[in-house]
């Protein structure tokens, strides 16, 4: 018996389930594995033997996952310790994999997930374990090294740009001068905030200023930027990343009470509130409205990119196909071949080259003033948002697939 298992980790995206379906559908065609299992709630679920046989479920009950947002197999934020320090989790995990006769483990996730792929493949190699580990990329943050972009980013960019357009129009209806500030995710990098550059009205950019973590935030210069723009027009539209910080390295969202996630990362937010207070206390504008997009950026299938869905599905298929060749400790990336017409292909790289690293937004794509992005950012992002999702509609709403009842946990 030769089986495989697929699991998801970290924050969800609109298209993460398409990658899982790529693995399942590829095996339906190849019949290489006897069973495709799902680890419910990532590596943490596998360690707890929360495992479901996807191939035993009616395909009609599962196929809708391709057009369903969030992590349909559940997720976790769980970091394995190095096996050099502790082997307890590794011994348990490999006992479970042996019990289920699993030969390949597909892990869908970002930086921390690829760290798990690397650690497990290294342990298997050193201890002669006949199990292969392959990573599949996922993150709206678009911060994985080497690859052109990550599944999830294109759909998040499309949602952000759409929200910019709609709120631009909403903010423009009143005669009083005002500032609208929209906050995106992006703790370390500015890819998401920068994607707002693709929003345009009558051929002109809807956003006046974009502030990214890659440039130190200067409050005095920000107020000057806004004041000057208000002399030119009644309404100013600003997009900021949650990760913008001062030259001292202090996150604006950390000013005040700070909470940490399970990885010790600061849970950011509150940038909008800080900037709103800054503008109001200095009487820079008559009116200030703010919007923190939060999780809508990662779960809006109704506003996702079909290009993004297709690429997420394709990297799942590629992972399953490459696994037949016996690779391990690798992950699948996306390589852009051309912009017009847009074309990309999956490729293989080492998970260790991606794990625990960050791909920052290019400094050369940020304008000299540090308050917006260059045309290169527009040209990079635009092809990734193309195409509308082919979602089913029932009673006027999207019909999504929810598998929790099948898990019986």
Over the stretch 343-389, which tens digit does the pLDDT of each residue have?
999 999 999 999 999 999 999 999 999 999 999 999 999 999 999 99
Fold for domain 3-141+303-357+389-407?
A: Rossmann fold (3.40.50)
Query: The domain at 153-299 falls in which architecture?
Result: 3-Layer(aba) Sandwich (3.40)
pLDDT at 258: 43
Average pLDDT over every residue of 320-338: 97
Six-digit token string for 33? 């594995």
pLDDT at 259: 45
Q: What is the pTM of this model?
A: 0.94
Helix axes 306-323, 153-171, angle to 10 degrees: 170
pLDDT, tens digit, 9 for 90 and up, residues 260-315: 455 555 544 489 989 999 999 999 998 999 999 999 999 999 999 999 999 999 99
Concerning whether 141 is annotated as a catalytic residue, the answer is yes
Are both 3-141+303-357+389-407 and 153-299 of the same fold?
yes
pLDDT at 268: 45
Q: How far apart are CA 76 and CA 71, in angstroms?
A: 10
Q: Which of 57-71, 245-259, 344-358 has the lowest mean pLDDT?
A: 245-259
Average pLDDT over every residue of 63-87: 94
Would you say the C-alpha torsion 106, 112, 114, 115 has a positive or negative sign? negative
pLDDT at 378: 98
Pick from 48, 17, 5: which is nearest to 402 by CA? 17
Share of the chain above pLDDT 70, in %: 95
Pick from 116, 22, 23: which is nearest to 75 by CA? 116
Q: Which of 171-180, 186-195, 211-220, 229-238 has the lowest mean pLDDT?
A: 171-180
Q: Please determine, for residue 409, whether its predicted confidence score (pLDDT) is greater than 90.
A: no
pLDDT at 23: 98
Which of 25, 112, 115, 141 is the catalytic position? 141
pLDDT at 403: 87
- Can you give the residue ranges of every domain in the chain? 3-141+303-357+389-407, 153-299
């Amino acid at each position: 018996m030769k089986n495989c298992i697929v699991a998801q980790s970290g924050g969800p995206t609109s298209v993460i389930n398409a990658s899982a379906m790529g693995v399942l559908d590829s095996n339906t065609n190849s019949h290489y594995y006897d069973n495709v299992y799902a680890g419910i709630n990532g590596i943490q679920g596998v360690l707890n033997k929360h495992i479901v046989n996807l191939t035993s479920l009616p395909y009609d009950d599962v196929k809708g996952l391709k057009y369903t947002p969030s992590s349909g197999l559940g997720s976790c934020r769980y970091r394995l310790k190095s096996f050099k320090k502790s082997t307890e989790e590794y011994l348990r995990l490999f006992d479970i994999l042996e019990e289920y006769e699993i030969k390949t483990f597909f892990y869908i996730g970002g930086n921390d997930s690829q760290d798990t792929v690397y650690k497990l493949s290294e342990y298997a190699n050193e201890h002669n374990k006949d199990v292969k580990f392959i990573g599949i990329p996922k993150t709206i943050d678009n911060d994985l090294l080497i690859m052109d972009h990550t599944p999830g980013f294109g759909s998040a960019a499309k949602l952000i740009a759409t929200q910019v357009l709609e709120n631009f129009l909403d903010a423009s209806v009143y005669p009083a001068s005002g500032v609208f500030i929209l906050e995106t995710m992006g703790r370390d990098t500015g890819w998401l905030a920068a994607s707002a550059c693709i929003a345009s009205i009558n051929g002109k950019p809807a956003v006046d200023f974009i502030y990214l973590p890659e440039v130190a935030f200067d409050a005095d210069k920000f107020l000057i930027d806004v004041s000057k723009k208000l002399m030119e027009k009644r309404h100013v539209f600003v997009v900021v990343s949650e990760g913008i910080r001062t030259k001292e390295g202090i996150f604006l969202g950390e000013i005040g009470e700070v909470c940490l996630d399970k990885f010790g990362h600061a849970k950011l937010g509150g940038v909008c509130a800080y900037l709103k207070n800054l503008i109001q206390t200095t009487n820079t504008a008559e009116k200030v409205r703010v919007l923190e997009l939060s999780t809508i950026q990662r779960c809006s299938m109704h506003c996702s990119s079909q290009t993004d869905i297709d690429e997420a599905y394709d990297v799942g298929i590629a992972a399953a196909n490459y696994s037949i060749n016996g690779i391990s400790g690798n992950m699948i990336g996306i390589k852009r071949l051309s912009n017009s017409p847009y074309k990309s292909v999956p490729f293989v790289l080492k998970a260790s080259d991606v794990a625990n690293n960050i791909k920052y937004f290019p400094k050369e794509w940020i304008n000299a003033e540090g308050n917006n992005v260059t045309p290169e950012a527009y040209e990079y992002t635009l092809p990734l948002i193309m195409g509308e999702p082919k979602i089913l509609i029932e009673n006027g709403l999207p019909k999504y697939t929810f598998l929790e009842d099948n898990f019986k946990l």
